[in-house]
Structure formats: structure tokens, C-alpha cells
Structure 1
Amino acid sequence: MDESTERFWGPAETTAFQECPPAVAAARESLASTGVHLMPAATVRAHFGSGEEEWARFASHWEDLSQDRYAAERGTCRLRRYGQFSLTPATGEMAQLPDTPFMQPDRSNPLYVDVDRHFEPLTDAFVADPLLRSVVSLLGHVAGALDSGACWIAKVHPFRVLATVDDEGQPTPEGRHRDGVTLVSSLLVGRNNATGGRSTVFAPDGPELLATTLDEPASLLLSDDRHTLHGVSPIRPLDPSRPAHRDVLVTTLTPA
């Protein structure tokens, strides 16, 4: 990672903003102007300087997720883990925070108002993976277009949504919603035998701002959660004789 990517760019720092790596500069500009940005997989991989071996190692962590019992109670088969980090973009410091229940603010997720959800923590191997640090660091730099906070809280959710011929998979059973954060991101890690899973970001009054199907691992969708809504359509098996799954890393950032 070059020296410029280790800096923090606040919204008013015009000169530093112009020195951003191209991927970061494009994302910041889109988020500031439209509230949404899609970073193609090739751009993400090039920014991280990662190859197939690194992404295969990263994807292997999705084989070690735990059942989401809250989703199961509503008929959705979903696996996940959860953890939090503090991030200081100016120094690149990233520290894991103690495990706590996950709770979303009022008026964000209508399915779980005032519900503390307890999920299995992130594995040590996942926390130690260099690609996780790269993803969170990138998001910290991008989020500087939305808020000038010097430190961020990153909430990290590796998800696997499963589907069979009899049960479609629901990535967002709550429908279009906010997460109650500043920046929300969805990084595609993998899809197997899946159709559907179209991600859409909406303006608060309803029009679509962007709709895309994340189908190439490392594709990254970013949105300003304060001023947009988002949702993902169900997935179904392409081959009805086999199950389908969709693996994503959802990471949100709020100022500390």
C-alpha cells in the first residue's frame, strides 16, 4: 500500500483529496454527490494488490459461520458472525473492541426494534486476515467524504444466505431499510448456484439511485446510510437439485 493511502482525508482537505488513490477518490466523489458508489471487483483487487490466493483464503472464513437464530425465527436460513473495531485512518490503527450484542438504532430496521441480538464472535483467523484490515482501512478513507471524524467504529458482519428449491434466501428480510450508520458497504465474497440477489439503493422518497447484482468476488457497493435506503432481492438456486448460497461482508462505519 503506497504512502498516500495511509493518510486521512477530511471533506475540506482539497489538496489531500486530490492526492487520493484513484479508487478512493472516485468513491468519495460519488458518495458525496449521489450517496452511492459501486467499486468493481478489478478495482478493489488492484487497490489491495491481492491475487487469487489471498481472496481464496479470505473466502474460506465463510465456511466457519454460525446459525443466525433471529433470521431462522422468520424463516430465513442465514449464517453469520459479528465483531467491532475502532479505526483511526490518520495512523492506520485498527483495534478489535470487546464483544457486545448487536442493536440497531430506532427507525432503522423495523424487524428488530429495541432487540439486542447476540451473535457468535469473529474467529481469530478472520480477525488476523490481512484482507480484513485492508477492507476496513479502505472504508475509513472513503467515509471521510461523509464525516470528518478522526476515529470510526466499524461493525463487521460476514454473512452467508442459503436457499433451496423450496425456500428462497432473503438477504434483507426487512425490505428496504437503513442500518442507522454513516457508511454501509457490501463486499461480495462469493456466490454458488445462485440467481437473484439484486442490490438496490434508493433515495428516501423512493426512486432508485443504483441497482446491481454483485456477481464477481471483490465487488464493493457503498452508500451513505444517512440519506439512502437499501435492500437486496431474494436468491434462488440456478440448479433446483442443489442448494444456493451468497456470501458477503457487510461493514458499517459510524464516528466514534
Structure 2
Amino acid sequence: MNTDTGFLFPPADERTRAAEAAARAALAGAGAYLMPPADVLACLGADASSWARFAAHWQDLTQDEYAARRGTHRLRRYGHFSLSPVTGELRLLPHTVFVQPGKTNPLYASVDRSFDPLTDDFVADPVLRQVIGLLGRLAGALDVAEWWSVKVHPFRVVATAEGAGQPSPEGRHRDGVSLVSSLLLDRDNAAGGESTVYTPEGDEILSVTLREPASLLVSDDRSTLHDVSPVCPVDAARPAHRDVLVTTLTPG
């Protein structure tokens, strides 16, 4: 796999600069922000065709065995990148186990978890590169970094009449990073999946159900907690799924 994924550049027009400025101000202030799909797609330079191609990668995820042990049907992959905030250079780092810092995720803190890597096609997708670039610009409102450590997690949570899907089986938690984000790719036959960001004292900052593809929720993981409610089928005769891209950034 070619680890050099190229260079990323900031948006060039007034609309996208204003959209990013609004997100940065909310992150630095309240600590959370929901970026509307139209703004996200404009910032990514994505049209219907490129978005559909990107969303198709969620058909090629693999079983999360750790979640399965707790009764959750969840598919995922994992990749780790470095991003230069100065040059925009993005590089895929060698694939390793995923470990979250102690005193963050109550289920998996300091536990080595091995997930299948991102596919070559996923890594090479221009939309992924633009998503990471956008998040790098937003993260600059929270921290200063020589380079950003970017961890990328495409998830599909599946629910049936026999069992709800758990996007966040660990409950209310932090990820131990600077910026945490959830980008909705698709949801089918799914009810629930409400995302909530809290203060450390438990007060709600923002609560929203990501319903429209390209909705992007970002939050300051240093000063907030987050959780997602279970997903259930609308039509009990069919399975439901919720596809999101969770991406975190922290100074490298």
C-alpha cells in the first residue's frame, strides 16, 4: 500500500470559509457543533457521485469481535494517519492495534484491540482525504500541533427485532483525544441513534439524531463526554443499520 496520500488544501471560497469558521467558533466556545450536510459537502467538494462512491466502502467492513462479545453486531475497520497542519501532507501510518488511553473508555481503556485495516480503495478515496483535511482545520481551534495523529474508524451498527444495535456500548465516555467527530454516511430502517455531548458534570451541550447523510457532529473531547443511544428497526421484519465515520485528532 502506498502510504503517501498526498497534500490537502483549505477551501477557496467564501461560503466554505464561513462554514468552517462557524464550526471552529462553536468548538472553542460551547465545545460541540453540528455541521449541516450542505456545508459539509461544500467543504469536501463532494457531489452525489463521489459521495455514493465513498459510502459504498461501508459494504466492505468486517466484524468487531470485541463488541460481539457484549452482544452488539458492529462492523468496522481502522486506520491511523498523520496530517501536517502546515503543509497539508497526509500519510497513512503502519497498521497497529488500537489502544485508548486509561481513564477514558470504561470498557476498553488501555486494552489492545486488533481490527482489520482500511482497504486500499478506502485510503485512496478523495472524499476521505478531504474529510481529514476539514477536520484538521477544525481541530486547529482546539490545539496546536506539529502534526495531527488522525485515527479513522468506519462503523456499521446493525439492529434486528431480536436485539438493538449499540453504537456506544461503553456509555458516556471520552476518547482521550482533542477532536472527536461523527459523520453520517447512511441509515436504513433505523430509529434511535441519538448523539449527545455532555459537560463533565453531566449537563447536555448538544443532542441530535444524525438523519441526513453528510451530517457532521464534532466536539472537544478534552472538555466533554459523548454517548449515542441504541438503534432499533422501524420495520421489525427487516434489519436496520447505521453507518458513520468516527475520526479523532490529537497532537502528534
- TM-score, shorter chain, exceeding 0.5: yes
Between the two proteins, the alignment pairs up a number of residues equal to 244
Shift of 1:121: 0.3
Contact 1:192 1:246 in 2 (8 A): yes
Alignment of 1:1-256 (within 5 A): 4-5=10-11, 21-256=17-252
Give the SS at the match of 2:29: helix
CA distance in 2, matches of 1:247, 1:61: 10
CA distance in 1, matches of 2:53, 2:162: 31
Task: Give the letter aligned to residue 229 of structure 2.
Answer: S
Task: Give the letter aligned to residue 73 of structure 2.
Answer: C
Task: Give the letter aligned to residue 26 of structure 2.
Answer: S
CA distance in 2, matches of 1:100, 1:157: 13
Shift of 1:5: 3.5
Contact 1:201 1:210 in 2 (8 A): yes
CA distance in 1, matches of 2:62, 2:35: 29
CA distance in 2, matches of 1:112, 1:47: 34
Shift of 1:19: 11
Unaligned runs of 5+ in 1: 7-17
Give the SS at the match of 1:169: coil
Contact 1:4 1:20 in 2 (8 A): no
Contact 1:35 1:224 in 2 (8 A): yes
Shift of 1:51: 1.1
Shift of 1:255: 0.3
Q: CA 1:51–1:4 in structure 2 vs 1: closer, same or farther (change >3 Å)? A: closer
CA distance in 1, matches of 2:140, 2:234: 40
1:68-104 CA distances to partner (integer Å, 9 max, x unpaired)? 0000000000000001000012211000000010000
Give the SS at the match of 1:5: coil
Q: Any runs of at least 4 consecutive aligned residues in structure 1 with deviations exceeding 2 A, and if so which? A: 2-6
Identity of aligned residues (%): 63
Q: CA 1:116–1:38 in structure 2 vs 1: closer, same or farther (change >3 Å)? A: same
1:149-198 CA distances to partner (integer Å, 9 max, x unpaired)? 13101000000000000110000001110001010000000000000000
Give the TM-score of the pair, scaled to structure 1: 0.92
Task: Give the letter aligned to residue 224 of structure 2.
Answer: T
Q: Which moved more, 1:110-119 or 1:129-138?
A: 110-119
CA distance in 2, matches of 1:5, 1:228: 28
Q: Which residue of 2 aligns with 1:11?
A: none
Give the SS at the match of 2:137: helix
Give the TM-score of the pair, scaled to structure 2: 0.94
1:21-57 CA distances to partner (integer Å, 9 max, x unpaired)? 1121111100001110110111101222211111110
CA distance in 1, matches of 2:10, 2:232: 42
